[in-house]
Amino acid sequence: MLKKLFQTTVTRALSAFLGLVILSINARYIGSEGVGEVALFNLWVSIFLMLSNLPGGSAMVYYAVRYKSSELLATAYIWAVIALVLPMAVLWIFPTLLPSPVFLLIVLFFYSTGWAHQYLLVGIEKLHLHNAASLAVNSTLIGALVYQYSVFTPKAEHYYLALSLGAGAQWLLSLVFLWPRLRLEGFDFKINVQLIKQLLINGFHIQIGNLVQQLNYRFTYFFLEKYQGTGTVGIFAAVVQLGEGIWLLAKSVSLVVYSRVSQNGSDFSAGVLTFVTARWVAVLSGLAILLLAMLPDGVYHRFLGPQYMGLGHWMLLMTPAVAILAAGMIYSHFLAGKGLFFINFLISLLAFIPIVLLGDLLTSRLGLYGAVLLNTCSYSITAVGSFLIVLRHVDSESKVYMFRFINDIKILHQQLKKGQD
């Protein structure tokens, strides 16, 4: 488990670094307006991907050891094709609503099927292969961006093509990694009605929760675009992306915790691991974003361009939100590992309420300050709600580790070492 945690953390760090490189390239070549267009495109991808990933999302982790991989993939692929009907219907009703529809459909198909491969790799505890395939997206994207921006007049559409190529590269590499397991099990692409029903039920709870969670993170983009313009969306998207880079440790640990709890974690062991890791990822994430906030404006000017001067101020305001949600990620993955997908959905839905009710008012009157306030409120509800539910599903003896900082490193080493191969 320690080896898996290290590998996953390194992969997340590399992915976050590549993401920042992409942000820097886009900011310098297409400015905050272009970054705003890219952010809105990615938001639409996230929204539709939640439907596309109903059977092929993280529910795959839970069922990977319970069914043949080919059975699971058959369901995921069929649904991925069916799910493309929704964006097509939206385009038919609102022809100008979605940006670059052809690229949108390509990215959706490759992402939905590629992530089915990816989650199966996690489910069979091939995290190193999952991590390697994950890096293919941003690596390919950077190469394609640099080439296009160097040869052609830079515009947001070049990013859409680059993302399509990156999603295709991840799909291909993850399939190559999964192929030996498919051959070993024997190909069985039959339609299992009972499996489809289970995947759709659990997948619905997971993906609708993920959709609402993504909207918690980014729905303010629509309000900002409406009242402040695409350029302001680009600035806030940079703040959000830098914050997400800070979450690399939380995301790495949460994936390990999810895998551990869903496979064989006892209540006591899972509780100790969850409380200790949640505490430390919150502290470390808060310190990391404070360091970013204290960087001089010259750093952001050189890295992103003159339109991003003063970004440290917004990073400082986002510090509580980033630290709080880092812990919330651990708690929500504990609940997912226990199969409590519907609970995670309800918590995400509750956290979305203030954004819906207050988003228009706060962003119209306070601009970026209103967006920061909305996200902080939403993140806090997510973390606190998950924490309270976790308390109901852990061994009572593990609760003593909630606020203990004594021997944390030793405890983490012991708990993670129990899960080593």
Find the range with the poorest average confidence among 123-137, 191-205, 346-360.
Answer: 191-205
Express each pLDDT in 237-258 by its tens digit.
Answer: 888 888 878 887 788 788 777 8
The model's confidence at residue 385, banded by pLDDT at 50, 70 and 90, is very high
Per-residue pLDDT tens for 314-363? 989 999 999 999 999 999 888 888 878 788 888 988 999 999 999 999 99
The pLDDT-based confidence of 421 (bands split at 50, 70, 90) is very low
Confidence of residue 414 (pLDDT cuts 50, 70, 90): low
- Check: CB of residue 213 under 8 Å from CB of residue 382: yes
What pLDDT, on the 0 to 100 scale, is given for residue 369? Answer: 93
Q: How many CA atoms lie within 13 A of 312 on its CB side?
A: 15
Q: Where does the pLDDT of residue 398 fall: very low under 50, low under 70, confident under 90, or very high at 90 and above?
A: low
235 versus 404: the higher-pLDDT residue is 235
Would you state the pLDDT for residue 303? 85
Give the model's pLDDT for residue 329. 92
Provide mean pLDDT across the span 49-74: 77
Taking a C-beta distance cutoff of 8 angstroms, is the pair 121, 133 a contact? yes
Q: Name the pTM for this structure.
A: 0.77
**Tens-digit pLDDT profile for residues 72-91:** 888 888 888 988 998 999 88
The 3-class secondary structure across the chain, one letter per residue, is: CHHHHHHHHHHHHHHHHHHHHHHHHHHHHHHHHHHHHHHHHHHHHHHHHHHHCCCCCCHHHHHCCCCCHHHHHHHHHHHHHHHCHHHHHHHHHCCCCCCCHHHHHHHHHHHHHHHHHHHHHHHCCCHHHHHHHHHHHHHHHHHHHHHHHHHCCCCHHHHHHHHHHHHHHHHHHHHHHHHHHHHHHCCCCCCCHHHHHHHHHHHHHHHHHHHHHHHHHHCHHHHHHHHCCHHHHHHHHHHHHHHHHHCHHHHHHHHHHHHHHHHCCCHHHHHHHHHHHHHHHHHHHHHHHHHHHCCCHHHHHHHHCHHHCCHHHHHHHCHHHHHHHHHHHHHHHHHHHCCCHHHHHHHHHHHHHHHHHHHHHHHHHHCHHHHHHHHHHHHHHHHHHHHHHHCCCCCHHHHHHCCCCCCHHHHHHHHHHCCCC
| Per-domain residue ranges of the chain | 1-207, 219-421
Give yes or no for residue 413 having a pLDDT over 80: no
Q: What is the pLDDT of residues 146-190, one digit of tens each?
A: 999 999 999 999 999 999 999 999 999 999 999 988 888 877 666
pLDDT surpasses 90 at 127: no
Per-residue pLDDT at 264 exceeds 60: no
N residues, the chain: 421
Highest average pLDDT, of 127-131, 174-178, 197-201, 306-310, comes from 174-178
Query: Model confidence at 67, in pLDDT bands (50, 70, 90)?
Result: confident
pLDDT of residue 60: 76
Q: What tokens were used for 294?
A: 């204290």
Q: What is the mean pLDDT of residues 110-136?
A: 86
Q: State residue 162's pLDDT score.
A: 95
Mean pLDDT of the chain: 84
* The two structure tokens encoding residue 83: 């799910």
Share of the chain above pLDDT 90, in %: 30
φ and ψ at 194, to 5 degrees? Answer: -65, -40
pLDDT at 383: 92
pLDDT tens column, 31-45: 888 999 999 999 899
Highest mean pLDDT among 10-14, 45-49, 139-143, 193-197: 139-143
CA angle 66, 61, 278 (to 5 degrees): 135
Angle (CA) 214-219-224 rounded to 5° is 150
Residues 385 and 351 sit within 8 Å (Cβ to Cβ): yes
